[in-house]
Structure 1
Amino acid sequence: MAIKYVKNEGGPTLGYSTESGVHILEVDGKYFKDLSKDGKLDKYEDWRLSAEERAKDLASKMTIEQIAGLMLYSSHQAIPASKGFFPGTFCGKSFDESGANSSDLSDQQKDFLINDDLRHVLITTVESPEVAAKWNNNAQSLVEGIGLGIPINNSSDPRHASIASAEFNAGAGGAISMWPETLGLAATFNPDVVKEFGEVASKEYRALGITTALSPQIDLATDPRWMRFNGTFGEDPKLTTDLARSYVDGFQTSEKENETADGWGYDSVNAMVKHWPGGGSGEGGRDAHWGFGKYAVYPGDNFDEHLIPFTEGAFKLSGKTKMASAVMPYYTISYEQDHEAKENVGNSYNKYIVQTLLREKYGYEGVVCTDWMITADEPPTVDTFSGKPWGVEHLSVAERHYKVLMAGVDQFGGNNEAGPIIEAYKMGVKEYGSEFMRKRFEQSAVRLLLNIFRLGLFENPYLLPEKSAEIVGNAEFMKKGYDAQLKSLVLLKNHENVLPLQKGKTVYIPKRYIAEGRSWFGHVIPERLEYPINLEIVKNYYNVTDNPDEADFAIVAISNPEGAGYSKEDFETGGTGYVPISLQYKPYKAVYAREKSIIGDPREVLDRNYRNKSFTPPNTTDLDLILETKKAMKGKPVIVSLLLSKPAVVEEFEKEVDVILANFGVQDQALLDIISGKSEPSGLLPLQMPANMKTVEEQFEDVPHDMDCHTDSEGNIYEFAFGLNWQGIINDGRTEKYKKEKIEK
């Protein structure tokens, strides 16, 4: 395959594949791609016209089958396919690995691009920038030669975190710049840092052929037990709103020669903000990826506050693009929030949530895309990872698609097949007539096409692999990411100013036991005993010993306790399956949990309470490790490096250690730069650290800042916006702007 380029003076450079059948038209001394291959210049091919004019013209030319394909968003796709993480079958479909050893498309990918007219692809792992660029070129060449020549809009979940938060969250062969998790960006309390991240990440995305970011996640994480806490900007509405605005501005805005119109252009990446209207209030902290967590509850009557990061942040940008170009509703049933039909169904199925609130009340004009696999059938048990048709389990797959369309949604996440959408169209024709349904489909087509036109993909979707390799993870981007990591570290305790510790001292770092676990998609991760910090990096700062008696100080690296809130063992021994999610390390008995759950499921169990049930986190050994190290060090300083994906109860060990340094996913070098004093800590807590599990159980799932926080041996309270530097408690413009008082119920 060869790619040819044609330059327009004062206009865009056109790129096209010699194998696609596309020819170049010359009109009025300008050059245009004949994507429809009809020998004349159609409006949608005319780059002189606005994106809106072009999108409307193209939508009017598309068949219902082509629009149905445009409404699809693929299941997770790895480049090459052998890098995927769905062995065997996934959602009833075999995972195809043909083409796995090159940048060629797999047979599955060719099938859904050709036969289902799919044009939105979710990219997971990529082998390298060069392979990603070549795969993009092959895919774009294929679709350029089909039908009306609509380019592919590739997308990605967040992939810049220093510590990947999920097995599909990987960069380009380790080459991509490394930043903190989203929660770590929040810990900087600095919108400028977040905007800079968006600017860097968008350039790297475009170099990988990625033009839509399935981010930022701007749910208010108002329940401290929620497993997706670390993907958010925390619990505070004002901080989340400001950071959401900066993030989207950074991703979507092109400037100077790279801008084509209205802030859009060749550096722009569509931002799909998630999850409308907020998924951070699942009852008991459970998550809606599974049936046991399908309900979002509002015991504090605080639904409206969860909308603020969307309506005042992502939908009211400072930049020219004005609003996030796409939004994703969450899986959850927003319990008893539908004030029209009074339906308790998943958010994408709820016309009140999507049409009345999002579209009409708040005037949102962009694409609405469902979360992944909501139209697939539910799994056999509530703890199985599969389809998530919450509240509409009784409907057929086609009926679910129809209900989603009638609720005002444009696109179906995780669906590779157009058949059910075409069936849904026929249902609409039967109920409303063909004219109505044609108009409804074109309405979504225009929204979807705008997000392709505005990025210049119709003119040139192709990449230069060698240029991609230069851009992705270049030294400048790496430095910016590393600086953000340093700014995200939060010093919680520094007894008698133990830190900083000069280089050249001797450190003891005990190995950490990690119990057998399961990944996001249920794959077994074997138990292991390992050093939690790379000793080769440590040796650049300190001497390393395995003998505590020889050490000047110790570093113990741990993470917060984890749990999902459901136990298969409890269910199989006669219980309901519902157990507490604990934020403490010792075995926990939920004596303060509510007596009866707010909502249950008549299909399963009406009362999901877990009062007086017990749970032991899989990493309870982290507490043992700290206490054993404290004893072994015989009074010498013990530093705890605490990786937080959500709040933790630290009362069990805080008084036993000298230093607690919290991080949200950083490189080991960043930790050591702080410990050694090469850099000074400046991060602030984007969350509350609860005093105990009693306050966790008594807080409302939907209300921020409503817990009693831990008070340490120094008299400091681990409240939202707390952090230390070498001089003591940080009080600056950030704390003045964002610090909150605890909400009293």
Structure 2
Amino acid sequence: MVLLAFIFGEGKMAKAQKKEIEKIPEVEALLKKMTLEEKVGQMAQVTIDVLTVGNSVYHTAEPVKLDRDMLHKAIVDYKIGSVLNTPNGKARTLEEWNYIISSIQEMAVNETRLGIPILYGVDAIHGTTYTAGATFFPQQIGMAATWNRELVRKAGEITAYETRASAIPWNFSPVLDMGRDPRWPRMWETFGEDVYLTSQLGIELVKGYEGDNNDVSNPYHVAACLKHYLGYGTPVSGKDRTPALIPDIELRERHLPPFKAAIEAGAHSVMVNSGIINGVPVHASYKILTEILKNELGFEGVVVTDWKDIENLHERDRVAHTQKEAVKLAINAGIDMSMIPYNFKFCDYLIELVNEGEVPMSRIDDAVRRILNMKYKLGLFDTPVTNYKDYPKFGSKEFEDVARQCASESITLLKNEDDILPLSKDVKILVTGPNANSMRPLNGGWTYSWQGDKVDQFAGRYYTILEALREKLGAENVVYVPGVEYKMDGKYWEEIPGDIDAVVKAAENVDFILLALGENSYTEKPGDLHDLSLSENQLELAQKVIETGKPVIVVLNEGRPRIIRDIVPKVKGILQAYLPGNFGGLAIADVIFGDVNPSGKLPYTYPMYVNTLVTYDHKPSEHQARMAGMYDYESDFAIQFPFGFGLSYTTFQYSDLTLSSKQLKSNQTLTVSVKVTNTGDRPGKEVVQLFTSDRYASITPDVKRLRRFNKIFLQPGETKTVSFSLTPNDLAFINDKLQTVTEPGEFEVLVGDLKATFEYVE
């Protein structure tokens, strides 16, 4: 057995040593001048609505105007170091952002004793989501479906450019939570269920945001913020911000690696999980925030809370008797900056705690050093405000072409019975379903507004699915009857059943029916649900159009895989579009009519039953066949579509899987090669996926694990040899002593439909 690294586990190993963070001379000189009040202010972050004119701190009057008195109170009196969000929670023009950021920085730089600039942050998670006219990409789950490292990095670069055009230098992205439970309403913000895929694409997005050398002083790059550290995506209930039970082995095997990889890639900040793990709120966990993140992983950047989460330690989680005690718990645990977001009591409490000896000054200095280091590296002391006029490519066709390519490569063909797709352009189709004629579900949440409900104000020039199909075929050849619609019912958006009989009637005079199903936009708590099944309204609509006898093609436009078990056998084609962004309508139409050959692959396992939510990297005991003639139990691996699955309009053949050796030893590398041939008549892209399977181990091994992937392009008849290198570290797992080990024994390599074996020996 090779012990690759000792991983800290409480009571198991010696504690990791405290990491000494970088000391920048200019920052150290500034720290020596700062009072306690000035230091604590740097650790405070408020939402922009606190600083604007409005009828309350929760509402900004339009047009936006900053409240001079509140600005003075926050920046001069309380000396706050950071601001976040967008006024009224909706997108702003470049000119508005320039006014907002310039006004804030002018006061911070010119009217405070030390002139420390403000650090402004925003959630630009699939493009610069709070700036009008910005370029929007598929949400992360769709970007994962591209399996294209280059596209993910390019999307990050464009997002960074356009976020800096908005004068904002700090992006609360990427999300590195694991999307392993489709009940969770933030699954679509993740890169899916696999550790390796998430780690690889997380690295690319960090590099896209921060640049190859993490030089975030570059005015075209921003500081990334990894979220939500750690273990946020698998609550027991499946609902947002509810408790999770995660053994240390699982925490380290599944949840920690993507953060570790992104930290090693140079990410400058981390946002903390709002939830509770094993009874302990993460914001109060010294083990997770200091011992693992700062000491073991050596993270030198800023650790920021999520929204109001220090207050939640008292109000919601009840681990602190008072708000003051909550501040003490969080800061001593390792929090550097508090997303307050509405008041300044955090500052008052923290000053008192330091003066009372409850929070050591060394902890304050550590936090403030990290914050000032990031401000310095961002170049804010030299250029606190970037000018949007220096960003001529903002919203350009060049950028939009990349977004459209991302959307096109994300589209995943799940079923194509009798090669019904692509359709010819001389057909007549009926389009129906709630997702057919709205930009809102194409984009999802965090789009112009938190819940994605303001797209009508900003996205009018883009194509819905219906509009894109009419663009292809002509309006006279595309009949539209919604059947089911999303509408505002009082204060809330509801799914409203329509005239299904009219849909059935319209089907009489068409060749095909395109059924656009899925979800309206949501995120966080508003996305919680009791039942993962597709809604009754949509299932009824589907059944009625299937009964017409016309060929039905389903387009799924959803943030998580909803149960469609009863539909799948009865329709001819199924496309998974995820949340493809503003160019999703065009991308879907391109795929349907063959202008683009689909190449997306599922970044998660698509479940068949609500009670069978199993990931591909499950344990062997989770897949047990029925005992024919004896017992009829439902313990088989019943899934709708497997992880990594996706069809093409061409065909690919794998051959000649070869290993450089039948043995792999420590400090050696094993080369795996395979030939891939396009055996069809269309050019196409294929994702070559390499899995390994550990035959036997000291703890039950996963059935298989993704270890490498590469996306290639092949002309008809073309063959390429794809090679991958594996090391002992790629075969490692966390054992029951919380050690990362590679154990001697037999391993299986799986590529396409081919298998080969080798032995690891010490």
TM-score (norm 2): 0.69
Alignment of structure 1 residues 582-593 onto 2, 5 Å: 582-585=531-534
Alignment partners' CA distance in 2, 1:286 and 1:253 = 35
Show the counterpart of 1:44: none
Q: Assess, with a 3 A threshold, how the Cα gap between structure 1 residues 121 and 238 changes in structure 2: closer, same or farther.
A: same
1:561 Cα deviation after fit? 9.9
Show the counterpart of 1:119: 81
Show the counterpart of 1:60: 32
Secondary structure of the residue aligned to 1:463 is coil
Q: Assess, with a 3 A threshold, how the Cα gap between structure 1 residues 736 and 424 changes in structure 2: closer, same or farther.
A: same
Alignment of structure 1 residues 1-16 onto 2, 5 Å: none
Q: Assess, with a 3 A threshold, how the Cα gap between structure 1 residues 96 and 513 changes in structure 2: closer, same or farther.
A: closer
Q: Assess, with a 3 A threshold, how the Cα gap between structure 1 residues 700 and 504 changes in structure 2: closer, same or farther.
A: closer
Q: Assess, with a 3 A threshold, how the Cα gap between structure 1 residues 701 and 390 changes in structure 2: closer, same or farther.
A: farther
Please say if residues 77 and 122 of structure 1, whose CA atoms lie closer than 8 Å, have aligned partners that are also in contact. Answer: no
Alignment partners' CA distance in 1, 2:585 and 2:51 = 28
Q: Assess, with a 3 A threshold, how the Cα gap between structure 1 residues 357 and 702 changes in structure 2: closer, same or farther.
A: farther
Alignment partners' CA distance in 2, 1:464 and 1:217 = 28
Show the counterpart of 2:218: 265
> Which structure shows the bigger proportion of residues in strand conformation?
2
State the one-letter code of the partner of 2:264: K
State the one-letter code of the partner of 1:284: S
Show the counterpart of 1:575: none
1:108 Cα deviation after fit? 4.4
Q: Which residue, out of 142, 150, 155, partners 1:197? A: 155
Q: Assess, with a 3 A threshold, how the Cα gap between structure 1 residues 642 and 119 changes in structure 2: closer, same or farther.
A: same
- Deviation track 1:477-536 (CA, whole Å, cap 9, x = no partner) reads 11111111111111000111111112242111125399xx9999999989xxxxx94543
Q: Quick check: 1:214 aligned with 2:180?
A: no
State the one-letter code of the partner of 2:514: I
Number of paired residues? 586
Q: Which residue, out of 323, 326, 338, partners 1:412? A: 338
Q: Quick check: 1:462 aligned with 2:385?
A: yes
Q: Which residue, out of 98, 110, 114, partners 1:133? A: 98
Q: Which residue, out of 479, 501, 510, partners 2:401? A: 479
Alignment of structure 1 residues 505-584 onto 2, 5 Å: 505-512=427-434, 533=464, 535-542=466-473, 543-546=477-480, 547-559=506-518, 581-584=530-533
Show the counterpart of 1:248: 206
Please say if residues 557 and 579 of structure 2, whose CA atoms lie closer than 8 Å, have aligned partners that are also in contact. Answer: yes
Show the counterpart of 1:692: 609
Please say if residues 553 and 572 of structure 2, whose CA atoms lie closer than 8 Å, have aligned partners that are also in contact. Answer: yes
Secondary structure of the residue aligned to 2:641 is coil
- Deviation track 1:450-488 (CA, whole Å, cap 9, x = no partner) reads 1111111111123334334x3321111111111111111
Q: Quick check: 1:329 aligned with 2:272?
A: yes
Q: Assess, with a 3 A threshold, how the Cα gap between structure 1 residues 307 and 562 changes in structure 2: closer, same or farther.
A: same
Please say if residues 402 and 428 of structure 1, whose CA atoms lie closer than 8 Å, have aligned partners that are also in contact. Answer: no
Show the counterpart of 2:547: 631
Q: Quick check: 1:400 aligned with 2:349?
A: no
Q: Quick check: 1:368 aligned with 2:368?
A: no
- Deviation track 1:656-690 (CA, whole Å, cap 9, x = no partner) reads 11111001212211110110111110000000011
Q: Quick check: 1:736 aligned with 2:689?
A: yes
Please say if residues 183 and 529 of structure 2, whose CA atoms lie closer than 8 Å, have aligned partners that are also in contact. Answer: no
Alignment partners' CA distance in 2, 1:702 and 1:425 = 48
1:415 Cα deviation after fit? 2.7
Alignment partners' CA distance in 2, 1:279 and 1:583 = 19
1:160 Cα deviation after fit? 3.1
Q: Gaps (5+ residues) in structure 2?
A: 1-21, 455-462, 481-505, 625-637, 655-675, 677-685, 695-700, 705-762
- Deviation track 1:290-346 (CA, whole Å, cap 9, x = no partner) reads xxx2x11137951212344345411121xxxxx2111112011111xxxxxxxx321
Alignment partners' CA distance in 2, 1:456 and 1:403 = 32
Alignment partners' CA distance in 1, 2:168 and 2:356 = 39
Please say if residues 218 and 275 of structure 1, whose CA atoms lie closer than 8 Å, have aligned partners that are also in contact. Answer: yes
Alignment partners' CA distance in 2, 1:663 and 1:647 = 11
Q: Which residue, out of 135, 155, 161, partners 1:177? A: 135
Q: Quick check: 1:158 aligned with 2:120?
A: no
Alignment partners' CA distance in 1, 2:237 and 2:479 = 43
1:737 Cα deviation after fit? 3.2
State the one-letter code of the partner of 2:352: K
Secondary structure of the residue aligned to 2:60 is coil
Q: Quick check: 1:439 aligned with 2:345?
A: no
Q: Assess, with a 3 A threshold, how the Cα gap between structure 1 residues 59 and 76 changes in structure 2: closer, same or farther.
A: same
Q: Assess, with a 3 A threshold, how the Cα gap between structure 1 residues 472 and 704 changes in structure 2: closer, same or farther.
A: farther
Secondary structure of the residue aligned to 1:284 is coil
Please say if residues 51 and 71 of structure 2, whose CA atoms lie closer than 8 Å, have aligned partners that are also in contact. Answer: no
Q: Which residue, out of 534, 555, 575, partners 1:661? A: 575
Show the counterpart of 1:27: none
Secondary structure of the residue aligned to 2:201 is helix
Please say if residues 72 and 417 of structure 1, whose CA atoms lie closer than 8 Å, have aligned partners that are also in contact. Answer: no
Please say if residues 374 and 389 of structure 1, whose CA atoms lie closer than 8 Å, have aligned partners that are also in contact. Answer: no
Please say if residues 222 and 701 of structure 1, whose CA atoms lie closer than 8 Å, have aligned partners that are also in contact. Answer: no
Tell me the C-alpha RMSD between the 2 structures.
Answer: 3.9
Alignment partners' CA distance in 2, 1:264 and 1:51 = 17
Please say if residues 561 and 584 of structure 1, whose CA atoms lie closer than 8 Å, have aligned partners that are also in contact. Answer: no
Alignment partners' CA distance in 2, 1:583 and 1:425 = 47
Alignment partners' CA distance in 1, 2:579 and 2:452 = 22
Alignment partners' CA distance in 2, 1:651 and 1:271 = 39
Alignment partners' CA distance in 2, 1:727 and 1:348 = 50
Alignment partners' CA distance in 2, 1:725 and 1:210 = 40
Alignment partners' CA distance in 1, 2:284 and 2:406 = 39
Q: Assess, with a 3 A threshold, how the Cα gap between structure 1 residues 722 and 304 changes in structure 2: closer, same or farther.
A: same
Q: Which residue, out of 317, 328, 332, partners 1:390? A: 317
State the one-letter code of the partner of 2:370: R
Q: Which residue, out of 652, 666, 671, partners 2:588? A: 671
Q: Quick check: 1:147 aligned with 2:92?
A: no
Please say if residues 504 and 541 of structure 1, whose CA atoms lie closer than 8 Å, have aligned partners that are also in contact. Answer: no
1:716 Cα deviation after fit? 10
Please say if residues 180 and 604 of structure 2, whose CA atoms lie closer than 8 Å, have aligned partners that are also in contact. Answer: no
Secondary structure of the residue aligned to 1:272 is strand
Secondary structure of the residue aligned to 1:219 is coil
Alignment of structure 1 residues 40-59 onto 2, 5 Å: 52-59=24-31
Alignment partners' CA distance in 2, 1:524 and 1:645 = 13
Show the counterpart of 2:294: 359
Alignment partners' CA distance in 2, 1:649 and 1:96 = 38
Q: Which residue, out of 236, 239, 254, partners 1:306? A: 254
Alignment partners' CA distance in 2, 1:391 and 1:416 = 20
Please say if residues 116 and 417 of structure 1, whose CA atoms lie closer than 8 Å, have aligned partners that are also in contact. Answer: no
1:706 Cα deviation after fit? 9.4
Q: Which residue, out of 643, 650, 653, partners 1:720? A: 643
Please say if residues 490 and 724 of structure 1, whose CA atoms lie closer than 8 Å, have aligned partners that are also in contact. Answer: yes
Alignment partners' CA distance in 2, 1:483 and 1:672 = 13
Moved more, 487-496 or 715-724: 715-724
Please say if residues 619 and 703 of structure 2, whose CA atoms lie closer than 8 Å, have aligned partners that are also in contact. Answer: no
1:717 Cα deviation after fit? 6.2
TM-score (norm 1): 0.71
1:284 Cα deviation after fit? 2.5
Alignment partners' CA distance in 2, 1:78 and 1:472 = 29
State the one-letter code of the partner of 1:248: V
Please say if residues 401 and 421 of structure 1, whose CA atoms lie closer than 8 Å, have aligned partners that are also in contact. Answer: no
State the one-letter code of the partner of 2:31: A
Show the counterpart of 1:34: none
